[in-house]
Structure 1
Amino acid sequence: MRTILLGTSAALIMSASNVMADIELKIATDSGTADAPSGLAIAKWAERIEEGSNGEIDVKVFYQDELGGQLEVFDLFVAGEVDLMLSWPSTSYDKRIGVVNTPFMVSSWEEANEAFHYEGWASTIMNEVFSGIGLKYLGAWPEGFAGVATKGKYATNMKDAGDIKVRVQPFFPIPNTMQAMGYQTEALEWGEVFTSIQTGVVNGDSGNVIYWDYEYFGELLDYFVHTRHDFVTGNILANEESFDGLSDEHQKLIIETSNMMMDERFANAKTEDEANIARAVAGGMEYIEPSTEEVAAMKEAVRSTVWPLMEEQIGADIMAKIRAQAN
């Protein structure tokens, strides 16, 4: 009888172990194929989670467009069908998410690191905003400062920009920012951009670091004007319900591995962006930096036009924090 009981106990232990090993998490990114920097980052994140859990967590990784378009995959994420995400999120759930696209909020890598790293002032704001739609903000995944990539013609000032139509992401306040800088705009999903440039619907793309414009549209585009109007950063996020359903140990693992992901990105992003500029130039794209005076004029126009709109959309309290910190 004792042997039978011991055997039963062993079976129960094995069964419990199997249940623990059956935790499945889904990680996705809405921007980046498997070999893009963002795709490589989430693959490494998944690997670290699996290894750190000693096989107790199985992580499925989904890249750009594998679960749908940018808006669709964010819908799945908010609904809990995706557990973890490296996202450039939609403002459709909460206009306050537009804070991630605040133009001319930081002006240097040093300012960006201070704002977005760990308990930085911008990170504190982000966590407050994302929590409102059931998401936990784990950190920033910086790409660099945005520019405007065009075909046939370019502008370094607001007057010349009036003759150029650029694609903008359909997220507040991105269209407003580019309009304040003098450009005509067309809101397009990422999958529509190549054909739209090719057929002349738009003259180029805006709001990205040079990697995306050269990698995906390099054969079409001639110029990249580094306006630096926006610090482009992905957001490392967790669905709060999914996260809260994990054990304390596994929650700690998610946070530790996301911190590693953020640390590595902050350490390497500036160098990577500079390498991508050099690669684009070597490939025939002309890289142009507006003068200090031209950037100052754009900055003044955007802040005076767009920041009041943001105050209406995301709240005076949040914008007061940004105004207090921004140079």
Structure 2
Amino acid sequence: MTLKTLTAASLAALTIGAGMAEAETWRYAFEEALDEVQGKFAQKFKAEVEANSDNEVQLFPFGTLGESVDIMEQAQSGILQFVDQSPGFTGALIPEAQVFFVPYLLPQDQDQLFSFFRNSKAVKELFPPLYAEQGLELLTMFPEGEVMMTTTEPVRAPADLNEVKFRVMTNPLIVESYQAFGATPTPLPWGQVYGALQTGMIQGQENPAFFIESTKMYEVTDYITRPGHNNFTTAVMANKDFYDALSDEDKQVVQNAIAVAFDYILEYQDGLTEESLAKIREAKPAMTITTLTEEERAPFRETAAAVEQKYLEIGGAQAQAILDQMKADLQAASESAQAEAAAAN
């Protein structure tokens, strides 16, 4: 082999090696199973990234890397590049994000809800700097479904929650909310909830219908109550140092994948709640599922003002600005949905 040939071969090998070095493996953890809403979002994100770049995305469902607090620490430290976590678990880091636990703030109407998450200035402009202060790049937030109570005894009024030990996430405002409802809020990591219900350590918990069905919470409770007080919200984040160091091309790949996954997950949820409740009825015909009337919801709804005030006290320096912008965004979403409905008719 001549020197010229050797040099050419070496350069070719270096070029190939350099090209291979550009491809990275990104680690993404979330709080649910692969076949649940966060898992579906993550799988769509992975597919889009891998279809449009040389990068690989490794997915880590709930439990594979520990509890929620563990994956957040790993995301902040850079062990994970991406994490999907509810504001319910980031409340200690970002107190303003607790606004999503003010009862009856988010609309029940799905069109209004989706419009809010698509267009909210609070989500797109006010929250990102707060997440950045914690070493996180906020990529998107999305709803996962109407929150329902599952209990061992029927609930038709706040009095029915008196002395009920009700599992909540480790979040001060949701604790406040269930205190206002009359329950005894009991913060527990998710991995302990089924056993705690089974042994009677707690008597209730809340989650969207798909999660109640997939985690079989109906096996250890007898009643599902729909008070219409909230919709479960989650946030997808990247480690900020990692994200800032990405090439412009890779940042665009990430943003495009997030946008595609966002549209996909909203479409995926259409009809999911009723489908999940039907599966629960089939698995446990004795399960009682109750949608509270507006009259029955009224005493629960009356607690919202006190919880909102508590949010302003504990929600951080930007709490008032966040709440005001959220309300403006929600009003805009309502008007947009009404205009679309009128045009359709």
Asked whether the equivalents of residues 116 and 123 of structure 1 are also in contact (C-alpha less than 8 Å), the reply is no
1:209 matched to which residue of 2? 208
Matched with 1:59 is 57
Q: Which has the higher contact order (CA 8 A, sep 6+)?
A: 2
Q: Counterpart of 2:45?
A: 45
Matched-pair contact (CA < 8 Å) for 2:225–2:290? yes
Aligned pairs for 1:104-123 (under 5 A) are 104-107=104-107, 108-123=109-124
Distance in 2 between residues matched to 1:67 and 1:190, nearest whole Å:
14
Alignment of 1:255-274 (within 5 A): 255-274=255-274
CA contact (8 A) 1:143 1:232 kept: yes
CA positional deviation for 1:11: 2.2
Q: Percent identity?
A: 21
**How do 1:34-183 residues align onto structure 2 when only pairs under 5 Å count?**
34-53=34-53, 56-88=54-86, 89-107=89-107, 108-151=109-152, 153-183=153-183
What RMSD in Å do the two structures reach over aligned CA positions?
Answer: 2.0
Shift of residue 121, structure 1, vs aligned partner: 4.2
Structure-2 separation of matches of 1:319 and 1:174:
16
Structure 1 residue 325, shift from structure 2 partner: 4.6
Amino acid aligned to 1:319:
L
Describe the shift of the 1:97–1:13 C-alpha distance in structure 2 as closer, same or farther (beyond 3 A): same
- Runs (4+) of structure 1 exceeding 6 A deviation are none
Greater helix percent: which structure?
Answer: 2
Q: Distance in 2 between matches of 1:58 and 1:273?
A: 32
The alpha carbon displacement at 1:196 in A equals: 1.0
Give the Å deviation of 1:252.
0.5
User: What is the one-letter code of the residue matched to 1:65?
Assistant: G
Judged with a 3 Å threshold, the aligned counterparts in structure 2 of structure 1 residues 321 and 35 are, in CA distance, closer, same or farther, namely closer
Q: SS of the counterpart of 1:228?
A: coil
Give yes or no for contact 2:123–2:141 (8 Å, CA) kept in 1.
Answer: no
> How far has the Cα of 1:6 moved from its partner?
2.5
* Cα distance in structure 2, aligned partners of 1:323 and 1:40: 29
Counterpart of 1:231 in structure 2 is 231
- CA deviations on 1:236-285 (whole Å, 9 max, x unpaired) are 22121111111111110111111111101112213112211221122222
Alpha-carbon deviation of 1:95? 1.7
Residues matched between the structures, number? 320
Task: Provide the secondary structure at the position in 1 that maps to 2:8.
Answer: helix
Aligned to 2:326: 322
| Cα 1:101–1:266 shift into 2, 3 Å | same
Helix, strand or coil at the partner of 2:143: strand
Distance 1:270 1:178 in 2: 28
Letter in 2 for 1:28: A
Contact 1:104 1:229 in 2 (8 A): yes
Give CA deviations for 1:79-106 in whole Å, capped at 9, x if unaligned.
2211112212322223223234333221
Kindly tell me: are residues 119 and 150 of structure 1, through their superposed partners in 2, closer, same or farther at Cα, counting changes over 3 Å?
Answer: closer
**TM-score if structure 2 supplies the norm length?**
0.86
Task: Check if 1:300 corresponds to 2:302.
Answer: yes
Uncovered stretches (5+) of structure 1, i.e. residues with no partner: none
Q: TM-score, normalised by structure 1?
A: 0.91
Contact 1:144 1:270 in 2 (8 A): no
Structure 2 counterpart SS, 1:137:
strand
